[in-house]
A and B are shown apart, each in its own frame.
Chain A
Amino acid sequence: MAQHESTYKPSNNFGKWMDERLPVARLVHDSFVDFPTPRNLNYLWTFGGILTFCLVAQLVTGIVLAMHYQPSADEAFNSVERIRRDVNFGWMIRNFHAVGASMFFIAVYVHIFRGLYYGSYKAPREILWILGVFIFLAMMATAFMGYALPWGQMSFWGVTVITNLFSSLDSIIPGLGTSIVQWLWGGYAVTGATLNRFFSLHYLLPFVIIGLVILHVWALHVVGQNNPTGVEPKTKADTVPMGPYAIAKDAVAMFAFLIPFAWFVFFLPDYLGHADNFTPANPLVTPPHIVPEWYFLPFYAILRAIPSKLGGVMAMFAAIAVLAFVPWLDRSRVRSTKYRPVYKWFFLLFVITCLALGYLGSKPADGIYVFWARIFTFYYFAHFILVMPFVGLLETPKKLPNSISESVLGKSGGGGGDTVPSGATASPEKR
């Protein structure tokens, strides 16, 4: 795919001059204009673009916030309040950043489930997928440290609870956990020193994410996009150039995505946060329920479902790590779940499991809630470790279309699967 011939033609002398020295314009043209995309992509494929937008939006709003924010235990909370009250449009920038984090996660979850449904992790896209898992991890770390910055009650106690988890490593090597925790804290308790380093890392990690995203997109451009049939493009008729086709679609999706985004920013800015975070951090008063941000809830439910602390921590990390092995756990011959009559139902169950874990993570860890959290935690792992390999091996997939264009145009419409169709992709280039 990436090896297709470059069609870039500089339009003026400066362009030509530049092209012979540093062909950035050619790179952009080949990667984002002439890049062939399967013609049958649905709107779930627009979330990559949406995620890029989210990352840039977080950077821009974050850099402006950092101009007014003060990372000290005494001033952090007050400085965020001053941003809300006294900085011109500070409330808007702050809402965009705080709501933006949630929207970023909504987009990344859709993106991940899209990949899981259509088997986008299968060869040759394993590295692309694994880079995605690393981006997800880096996003979680960034968001966790970002949530600490306002230094409210939930910030402080969230940091306390989560960093304390590492002390469970003491049960493997005595002293190891304690040392790690003290190293994370920069002292013997969560203090302003902890806040300071979190701010430093919260500023750094988004740039690490940018680096990972560049690799992710590079890998994508080597192997090309998957598509709803899971059948690789075979002829030119199977693809359309990214510009203007995919770009036009991405633009629609991006603006549609901005509607709920703006809805929360302007009408419900604090709905996704916690009331407790409007009380300044107080190490002497523990809030009744310490709950992480909604996007961590499924993992939090898994953590608390396991009776031992160390076990819970390991299960929580395993729940993310297992994603990296999906390309090899799934033994199915076909990629797309559309053609998998049995796995389809397991996939649905998996989606329900994740939603249920999210709900249970928000509830106190007792009684019936723990019972259900255990059931769903069991299925979460069983889905990867049992369902993916065995259903993949045992199930008979439905018949795949011969090609993408066949699935779009039907047998007759395109004049047969393997004939080179006339009008379809020829037209954009002929213009």
Chain B
Amino acid sequence: MQSARAFGLALSAIALSAGTVWAASGGAHIERHHWSFTGLGGQYDKAQLQRGFKVYQESCSACHGLSRLSFRNLFEAGGPEFDEAAVKSLATEWPNQIVDGPNDDGEMFERPPLASDPIRGPFANEKAARAANNGALPPDLSLIIKARTVENHSSWPLHVVQMGKDVLSGYQEAGADYVYALLNSYKGSEPDTNGMYVNAAFPGGKIAMTPPLTVDNTVAYLEDGQSAPEGMTVPPSTVAQNAEDVTAFLAWASDPSLNTRKQIGWQVMIYLLITTVLLYLGKKQIWARLKH
């Protein structure tokens, strides 16, 4: 798929945006970010998804579930592709247990998740979640990237031109751009008197989520003294890097078939192009029998 990817990149380059105004529903400006999975040939970066999962596990999972994903998805093809045994042992230690039952005594009980179980969040129900979060509900993150977008507030000619460019370059990453911006747009980490934090990317400018990533509180990619695995470079753990990685991970969570989808897409495109040309030549031959 290397060549498909290079071709995709070339096409995306043609479509560089110029002077368009982007905003989340609230009105703040949202930058477009370059993602490995953007565009026609884009694919997830496995190492990034693995780092992103670590950020989710160590930071976000304290409040957010990921319940449309099962642990098994973490070792399946097209995702972070962790080692199967490692994921299974991770599942047994996952702090948020699965309620199962009733057992032979008719009692419900809690047990550690299996590979086929969903990745649950910490709260038993919405009320509990709100009670712990100043009345706000931390949404399940399994579809958050698909469920958010960035609105185009440019004047109509620019809007139309931008739509054309996006369609040609296969741009569908507005949700990722938004979440990345959200994690990077906190102003200070102190709440106001209502317990709200200032965040320019969030519609309305104030969000109930405590800044999950701050300068003094980032997720380390390597344990103390651990060195990067052979042939891999591990980026430094900054807020921006954590945010980018967890966003990529969440993008995979909401669209796990992206890798296969784009690969098959190219095969289908090539097949359709060749068939169309052949049919056209055949049609010309047939019509050539007629007098012009």
Closest to B175 in A: A275
B282 CB to closest chain A CB (Å) equals 6
In this assembly, does A256 line the interface, its C-beta being within 8 Å of a C-beta of chain B?
yes
* 27 A-B interface contacts by CB (under 8 A): A81-B143, A85-B68, A248-B279, A248-B282, A248-B286, A249-B283, A252-B280, A259-B269, A259-B272, A262-B269, A263-B170, A266-B261, A266-B266, A267-B40, A267-B262, A270-B172, A271-B167, A271-B172, A275-B148, A275-B174, A278-B147, A278-B254, A279-B143, A279-B147, A288-B203, A427-B289, A428-B289
| Interface residues of chain A: helix, strand, loop or mixed (majority) | helix
Residues A409 and B291 in contact, CB atoms below 8 Å apart:
yes
Closest to B268 in A: A262
Interface string of A226-252 (1 = CB under 8 A from B): 000000000000001000110011011
Residues B146 and A266 in contact, CB atoms below 8 Å apart:
no
For A269, the chain B residues whose CB sits under 8 A away are 172, 261
In this assembly, does A113 line the interface, its C-beta being within 8 Å of a C-beta of chain B?
no
For A95, the chain B residues whose CB sits under 8 A away are 261
The 6 closest A-B pairs by CB, nearest first: A266-B265, A275-B149, A278-B147, A278-B146, A267-B170, A248-B283
Contact-residue size bin, chain B (C-beta under 8 Å from the other chain): 35 or more
In this assembly, does A383 line the interface, its C-beta being within 8 Å of a C-beta of chain B?
no
Residues A266 and B147 in contact, CB atoms below 8 Å apart:
no
B2 CB to closest chain A CB (Å) equals 18
In this assembly, does B273 line the interface, its C-beta being within 8 Å of a C-beta of chain A?
yes
Interface string of B251-283 (1 = CB under 8 A from A): 000101100011011101100110110011011
In this assembly, does B238 line the interface, its C-beta being within 8 Å of a C-beta of chain A?
no
Contact-residue size bin, chain A (C-beta under 8 Å from the other chain): 35 or more
In this assembly, does B14 line the interface, its C-beta being within 8 Å of a C-beta of chain A?
no
Binding site for B on A (CB under 8 A): 39, 81, 84-85, 91-92, 95, 240, 244-245, 248-249, 251-252, 255-256, 258-259, 262-263, 265-271, 275-276, 278-279, 288-289, 359, 408-409, 413-414, 421, 423-425, 427-428
User: How far is it, in angstroms, between the C-alpha of A39 and the C-alpha of B286 when the chains are bound?
Assistant: 13
Closest to B69 in A: A85
In this assembly, does B59 line the interface, its C-beta being within 8 Å of a C-beta of chain A?
no
User: How far is it, in angstroms, between the C-alpha of A274 and the C-alpha of B254 when the chains are bound?
Assistant: 15
Residues B172 and A268 in contact, CB atoms below 8 Å apart:
yes
For A266, the chain B residues whose CB sits under 8 A away are 261-262, 264-266, 268-269
Residues B290 and A240 in contact, CB atoms below 8 Å apart:
yes
A250 CB to closest chain B CB (Å) equals 9
Residues A91 and B261 in contact, CB atoms below 8 Å apart:
yes
| Interface residues of chain B: helix, strand, loop or mixed (majority) | helix
If A266-B262, A271-B172 are given as contacts, then 4 extra A-B residue pairs at C-beta distance below 8 Å, sorted by A number, are A267-B265, A271-B166, A275-B147, A276-B147
For A256, the chain B residues whose CB sits under 8 A away are 276
Closest to A240 in B: B290
For B273, the chain A residues whose CB sits under 8 A away are 259
Closest to A288 in B: B25
Residues A258 and B272 in contact, CB atoms below 8 Å apart:
yes
For B147, the chain A residues whose CB sits under 8 A away are 275-276, 278-279
User: How far is it, in angstroms, between the C-alpha of A271 and the C-alpha of B166 when the chains are bound?
Assistant: 9
Interface string of B135-164 (1 = CB under 8 A from A): 000000001001111000000100110000
For B279, the chain A residues whose CB sits under 8 A away are 248, 251-252, 255
For A425, the chain B residues whose CB sits under 8 A away are 290
User: How far is it, in angstroms, between the C-alpha of A85 and the C-alpha of B174 when the chains are bound?
Assistant: 21
User: How far is it, in angstroms, between the C-alpha of A11 and the C-alpha of B286 when the chains are bound?
Assistant: 23
For B276, the chain A residues whose CB sits under 8 A away are 252, 255-256, 259
Most chain B beta-carbon neighbours within 10 Å: one of A85, A92, A95: A85
Residues A252 and B146 in contact, CB atoms below 8 Å apart:
no
User: How far is it, in angstroms, between the C-alpha of A184 and the C-alpha of B268 when the chains are bound?
Assistant: 42
User: How far is it, in angstroms, between the C-alpha of A69 and the C-alpha of B154 when the chains are bound?
Assistant: 39
Residues B261 and A255 in contact, CB atoms below 8 Å apart:
no
For A81, the chain B residues whose CB sits under 8 A away are 68, 143
B176 CB to closest chain A CB (Å) equals 12
For B272, the chain A residues whose CB sits under 8 A away are 255, 258-259, 262
User: How far is it, in angstroms, between the C-alpha of A1 and the C-alpha of B271 when the chains are bound?
Assistant: 38
A23 CB to closest chain B CB (Å) equals 27
Closest to A95 in B: B261
For A289, the chain B residues whose CB sits under 8 A away are 25
Residues A427 and B25 in contact, CB atoms below 8 Å apart:
no
Closest to B281 in A: A252
Closest to B269 in A: A262
**Chain B stretch 163-199: residues in CB contact (< 8 A) with chain A:** 166-167, 170, 172, 174-175
User: How far is it, in angstroms, between the C-alpha of A118 and the C-alpha of B166 when the chains are bound?
Assistant: 33
B114 CB to closest chain A CB (Å) equals 16
User: How far is it, in angstroms, between the C-alpha of A425 and the C-alpha of B273 when the chains are bound?
Assistant: 31
User: How far is it, in angstroms, between the C-alpha of A248 and the C-alpha of B166 when the chains are bound?
Assistant: 33
User: How far is it, in angstroms, between the C-alpha of A26 and the C-alpha of B185 when the chains are bound?
Assistant: 71
Closest to B68 in A: A81
User: How far is it, in angstroms, between the C-alpha of A198 and the C-alpha of B264 when the chains are bound?
Assistant: 33
User: How far is it, in angstroms, between the C-alpha of A85 and the C-alpha of B289 when the chains are bound?
Assistant: 51
User: How far is it, in angstroms, between the C-alpha of A271 and the C-alpha of B174 when the chains are bound?
Assistant: 10
Residues A263 and B292 in contact, CB atoms below 8 Å apart:
no
